[in-house]
Chain A
Amino acid sequence: MKLSYQSRITASAVLMLVVVLLIMASLWFPRTDRTVKVMDLLFVLDITQSMDVEDVDLNGQQVSRITWAKEYTKQVLQQLPCGSHVGLAAFSESRSLVLINPVEICESYNDLSQMLAKIDGSMAWALSSEVSKAVFGAINQAKLMDPSPDVVFITDGHEAPPLHAELYPKYKKKLGDVSGIFVGVGGEKLLPIPKHDFDGTRNGFWEENDVMHEDVYASLRSDQSTRGQRPRTEHLSSQKVGHIQGLADMLNFEVVTSPTKASTVLNTLQQKVKTRDQVVSYNWAPWFASIALILLVLLYFPLRFFRD
């Protein structure tokens, strides 16, 4: 169909008028309310010495588990939508020490990221690493907060001293509305754990005779029959996937093992934990502006270059 010269001129004039109307809409069309899902989370980072083992890959570099944990947490924080609240805690000994209760992520991002950067093994207040108890503690403290956040527990699952096969700690209270996920960190191979003195100075590696290889009960009973049957490898550390999974099953948590992208944890969280609807005002201007721009491109497109 070929339009006459006259009608082509009129048509393009009308098209241009539409463009003007679209630009006006970009300027004055009211923003509309939209809901996004936001979460309240308490990130607990394992800062025990097994986290100093350098067996994780971060952008092609071998880094320590704690370095990875901090970097990963930071990436997740950056991707959480504004309105989400995040708190930070560090786990050493048998407890999760809450450093900051949940704060709104966008407004307090600066403080959160600075605080996150300061978390490491040098702030540990004791040398043991009782993961199970620390998880229970984190849940208990989350329940005290209002609204209670869900827990993101980043750990390699290394228990020191080791647990008895049956006499391990169990969570006996009600979970309430607290749910959460474990983020497993660390490689599969058993590797030596760098030893730091209590004042933080590096002092070789943990040796076989420095650590307990049996649970407390077994060593108290000095039960000869089971003695020596357990492998003496507690001075070495790998990611204890099985133990983390066991804890997760007990607490009805999800497990994410060595994720590479921040979105992995975000997606798991969105399905697992409670979300709140946050109303944000949505701006339609980019849509109107895009349509206006497309119309203009069509209007001025030099078709003659493509004809014959």
Chain B
Amino acid sequence: MSMLGIQWTSPMMLILLPLLLLPWFTHNQDKTVAWTSFVPVDSLSNVIGMGLKLLASAVIASLVITLAGPYMPEQKVERVGSGAEVVILVDRSRSMDDPFSTRGKALAVNRTVGKGDSKRRIAKKYLMEFVNKRPDDRFGFVLFSDKSLDLLPLSYNKESIRQTINASALGKGLSETNIAKAMITAAEMYSQEDYRGSRTVLLVSDGGQEFSEENKQKIAEMYKRENLTLYWVYMRSTTGLSLQEEGEGDSWKNTPEKRLHSFFKGLGVPYKVFEIESVKSFSEAIDTIDKQESQTLIVDEIIPREIKTAPFFILAMITMMLLVFAQFYTAWGVRKAYE
């Protein structure tokens, strides 16, 4: 039931509303009169009598309404903010369990499931920092292994995205990952939404993959159509090579990472890669994205539900005070008459 957008916490209480008719049937305070025709017709008295009954009805109705708990439901209000919409894709492959490498340092490669600084944990830490820096952003999260799922559709709820990122750092990685599918899922998430401002896909992975021609076409087409900006945070493996090192007869140019990089470059959408060599460069990458992605954005603000019982209580109180006054006046008058 709604009226002017008002909703009820316990609408069943409204079945008590007919109680407001009670004052119109009651006469039990009347003085016993031998023959009512003796009483002179006094139009002023009639009006006052009617008025008092109306007031009494109003009090009863107001109280019933407060018991039904009227409230304005939470409302979305659009305001202009600055920020971006960000869909996060985190590689969950096994290699992300490897310790985070530092360039030039050969590390004993031990998989650090559940403890230490695996790449997944480092990624989690900095993604978290990023989310905390961006109050106006709307975040979504794609979970992907061999399949991909838009686990968290774009949401303003920071706690949801934080805990989804936290969950992504738990446990072992999954054996198979399919980055192309995840990228398509991310674009699909945007295609269901109205355009509100800067749209970003943030891919965090430690390796590249060869995409099929079909997927390449689909990705290129969708990313252009949906106006997406792509950031690739590439967490290089200890043995991995820099994407930029391009020399004559580069024998590494056919590595999946490099081919993915050149595919991204040729996408025709804004694209930037961050090669992460150290914790510091991760932090810098996050800062750069943070600075770049602060265009105007339409932000939904949720105005929480407002409980609307107070006006009815005030109405009931004022009306009831009038009735009390009238009743005491009557009592005073009757006493005078008996004196």
CB-based contact A101/B167 at 8 Å: yes
In the complex, how many angstroms separate the beta carbon of A44 from the nearest chain B beta carbon?
A: 12
Of B148-156, B216-224, B243-251, B258-266, the segment with at least 4 beta carbons within 8 Å of chain A is B148-156
CB-based contact A27/B334 at 8 Å: no
In the complex, how many angstroms separate the beta carbon of B131 from the nearest chain A beta carbon?
A: 14
In the complex, how many angstroms separate the beta carbon of B26 from the nearest chain A beta carbon?
A: 4
Residues of A whose CB lies within 8 Å of any CB of B are: 5-6, 8-10, 12-13, 16-17, 19-20, 23-24, 26-27, 87, 89, 95, 97-104, 107-108, 110-112, 114-115, 118, 122-123, 125, 137, 141, 144, 198, 200, 285-286, 289-290, 292-293, 296-297, 300-305
Knowing A26-B66, A108-B157, A302-B22, the reply to whether A6 touches B334 (Cβ < 8 A) is yes
Judge if B171 is at the interface, Cβ distance under 8 Å: yes
Knowing A6-B335, A111-B152, A305-B25, the reply to whether A16 touches B160 (Cβ < 8 A) is no
Knowing A123-B147, A296-B63, the reply to whether A302 touches B324 (Cβ < 8 A) is no
CB-based contact B56/A296 at 8 Å: yes
Q: Which residues of A contact B331 (CB under 8 A)?
A: 6, 9-10, 13
CB-based contact A115/B163 at 8 Å: no
Q: Which B residues, 36 to 69, have Cβ-Cβ distances below 8 Å to chain A?
A: 56, 59-60, 63-64, 66-67, 69
Judge if B227 is at the interface, Cβ distance under 8 Å: no
CB-based contact B160/A108 at 8 Å: yes
Q: Which of B31, B146, B172, B328 touches A13 (beta carbons < 8 Å)?
A: B328
In the complex, how many angstroms separate the beta carbon of A224 from the nearest chain B beta carbon?
A: 35
Add 6 more A-B contacts to A8-B29, A115-B151 (CB < 8 A). Answer: A9-B331, A23-B316, A26-B313, A102-B163, A300-B22, A300-B60
Knowing A87-B163, A100-B164, A285-B309, the reply to whether A123 touches B59 (Cβ < 8 A) is no
Interface SS majority for chain B: helix
CB-based contact B316/A123 at 8 Å: no
Question: How many Å lie between the Cα of A296 and that of B114 in the bound state?
Answer: 66
17 contacts between A and B (CB under 8 A): A9-B29, A13-B324, A20-B320, A20-B321, A23-B313, A100-B164, A108-B157, A115-B152, A125-B145, A137-B171, A286-B66, A293-B19, A293-B64, A296-B63, A300-B22, A300-B56, A305-B25
CB-based contact A98/B330 at 8 Å: no
Q: Which B residues, 149 to 188, have Cβ-Cβ distances below 8 Å to chain A?
A: 149-153, 155, 157, 159-160, 163-164, 166-167, 170-172, 174-176
What is the 8 Å Cβ interface bit string for chain B, positions 303-337, against chain A (1 contact, 0 not)?
Answer: 00000011001101100110110011011001100
Q: Which of B64, B67, B172, B314 touches A95 (beta carbons < 8 Å)?
A: B172
Q: Which residues of A contact B323 (CB under 8 A)?
A: 16
CB-based contact A13/B327 at 8 Å: yes
CB-based contact B171/A12 at 8 Å: no
Chain B residue at minimal CB-CB distance from A28: B313
Residues of B whose CB lies within 8 Å of any CB of A are: 16, 19, 22-23, 25-29, 31-32, 56, 59-60, 63-64, 66-67, 69, 114, 143, 145-147, 149-153, 155, 157, 159-160, 163-164, 166-167, 170-172, 174-176, 309-310, 313-314, 316-317, 320-321, 323-324, 327-328, 330-331, 334-335, 338
CB-based contact B330/A9 at 8 Å: yes
Cβ-Cβ contact count across A and B, 8 Å cutoff = 160
Q: Which of A5, A118, A123, A300 has the most CB of B within 10 A?
A: A300
Knowing A20-B317, A114-B153, A297-B19, the reply to whether A99 touches B143 (Cβ < 8 A) is yes
**3 shortest interchain CB distances as A-B pairs:** A13-B327, A302-B25, A101-B163
In the complex, how many angstroms separate the beta carbon of B105 from the nearest chain A beta carbon?
A: 28
CB-based contact A125/B327 at 8 Å: no
In the complex, how many angstroms separate the beta carbon of B71 from the nearest chain A beta carbon?
A: 13
Chain A residue at minimal CB-CB distance from B23: A300
Question: How many Å lie between the Cα of A17 and that of B322 in the bound state?
Answer: 10
Question: How many Å lie between the Cα of A24 and that of B174 in the bound state?
Answer: 62
CB-based contact B171/A141 at 8 Å: yes
CB-based contact B317/A289 at 8 Å: no
Chain A residue at minimal CB-CB distance from B16: A293
Question: How many Å lie between the Cα of A254 and that of B118 in the bound state?
Answer: 36
Q: Which residues of A contact B151 (CB under 8 A)?
A: 99-100, 115, 118
Question: How many Å lie between the Cα of A99 and that of B26 in the bound state?
Answer: 64
Q: Which residues of B contact A107 (CB under 8 A)?
A: 157, 159
CB-based contact A19/B167 at 8 Å: no
In the complex, how many angstroms separate the beta carbon of A295 from the nearest chain B beta carbon?
A: 10
Knowing A108-B159, A110-B155, the reply to whether A293 touches B22 (Cβ < 8 A) is no
Chain B residue at minimal CB-CB distance from A23: B317
Question: How many Å lie between the Cα of A26 and that of B82 in the bound state?
Answer: 43
Chain B residue at minimal CB-CB distance from A144: B170
Chain B residue at minimal CB-CB distance from A298: B22
Question: How many Å lie between the Cα of A107 and that of B157 in the bound state?
Answer: 8
Q: Which of B26, B171, B316, B338 touches A98 (beta carbons < 8 Å)?
A: B171
Knowing A20-B324, A141-B171, A302-B25, the reply to whether A125 touches B63 (Cβ < 8 A) is no
Question: How many Å lie between the Cα of A269 and that of B320 in the bound state?
Answer: 48
Q: Which residues of A contact B327 (CB under 8 A)?
A: 9, 12-13, 16
Chain A residue at minimal CB-CB distance from B312: A289
CB-based contact A125/B174 at 8 Å: yes
